[in-house]
Amino acid sequence: MNKKKPLVSGLPGRFARMTREQLDAESDQYDVTHSATSAKRAANVKPHPKKRGRPPKPAGEKASRVLITIEPSLLAAADAAADRRGLTRASLIRQAVLDWLARQPRRRKSA
């Protein structure tokens, strides 16, 4: 095998004419100058957040997951009704619970 043959002819510019050893030497130069482990942090720069996604909500605003059991036909009807109204399944169930609670008679506090 000829070691002087260019490694990859599809590389741009002068890299297409380099051998494996020349490419390794070139990449070592960039590894040293652009390595993230040796780079110093810039002053007054916020650190990267530990987690991505939504910011945490206060305890009073958090939602709870609830596992409920519903017959398949009732679930299919609820999903169809939610689709017709442009709602999600969870928002349809939430609205149904709110409506039911609103229809309940108010209990009077005993003195």
Structure-derived torsion over alpha carbons of residues 104, 106, 107, 111, reported in degrees to the nearest 10: 180
Count of domains observed in the chain: 2
- 108 is a domain residue: no
With 0.85 as the threshold, say if the pTM is over it.
no
Give the C-alpha distances (Å, rounded to integers) separating 4 from 8, 23, 59, 88.
12, 12, 67, 64
pLDDT digits (tens, 9 = 90+) for 7-36: 666 777 787 788 888 888 888 877 766 666
- 45 is a domain residue: no
Q: Distance between CA 103 and CA 101 in Å, rounded?
A: 5
Q: Distance between CA 85 and CA 96 in Å, rounded?
A: 13
- 52 is a domain residue: no
pLDDT digits (tens, 9 = 90+) for 94-110: 999 999 999 998 887 76
Show the domain range for 7. Answer: 1-35
Determine the average pLDDT of the residues in 59-84.
91
Of residues 6 and 77, the one with the higher pLDDT is: 77
- 49 is a domain residue: no
